[in-house]
């Protein structure tokens, strides 16, 4: 297994970053755009980290329900299944195109 290190951020930085996102979201096209703009300015490793902090803060404030562990696992499973189905669909489309091209060719005797 790889050596995965978790970078710890001070609580003050987390609170400031979340506050900045919530206060400046109106200035951006979406909350995600605000997050990816603010995260590097504060030295936060990724926008996803800051997004999770914002979601946690919203859940604690009652503005957004916290996702249940079962729901989160089910969502991951469904996303994986959806990706597999998209791949299978792409393969079937390619095969259909191949066979359609074969039928369009004139027969040689």
Report the pLDDT averaged over residues 18-23: 93
Confidence of residue 66 (pLDDT cuts 50, 70, 90): low
Distance CA 5, CA 27 (A): 34
Place of tokens 């001070």: 10
Q: What SS3 state is found at 30?
A: coil
CATH number at residue 41: 1.10.10.10
Round the average pLDDT of the chain to a whole number and report it: 85
Q: What tokens appear for 67 in the block? A: 């996702």
How far is C-alpha 59 from the geometric centre of its chain's CA atoms? 18
pLDDT in tens, 24-35: 888 888 899 999
| Domain identity same for 56 and 72 | no
Say whether pLDDT at 11 is over 70.
yes
Predicted local confidence at residue 1, as pLDDT: 46
This prediction has a pTM of 0.53
Domain that holds residue 16: 11-61
| Domain identity same for 17 and 57 | yes
| Domain identity same for 74 and 106 | yes
Say whether pLDDT at 17 is over 90.
yes
CB 46 within 8 A of CB 36: no
Say whether pLDDT at 95 is over 80.
yes
| Domain identity same for 97 and 80 | yes
Q: How far is CA 106 from CA 45, 98, 101, 102, 103, in A?
A: 59, 15, 10, 9, 8
């Amino acid at each position: 297994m790889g050596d995965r290190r978790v970078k710890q951020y001070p609580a003050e930085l987390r609170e400031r970053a979340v506050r900045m996102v919530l206060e400046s979201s109106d200035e951006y096209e979406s909350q995600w755009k605000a997050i990816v703009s603010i995260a590097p300015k504060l030295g936060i490793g990724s926008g996803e980290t800051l997004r999770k902090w914002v979601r946690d803060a919203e859940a604690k404030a009652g503005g957004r329900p916290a996702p249940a562990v079962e729901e989160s696992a089910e969502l991951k499973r469904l996303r994986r299944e959806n990706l597999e189905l998209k791949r299978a669909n792409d393969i079937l489309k390619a095969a259909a195109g191949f066979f359609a091209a074969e039928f369009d060719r004139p027969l040689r005797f």
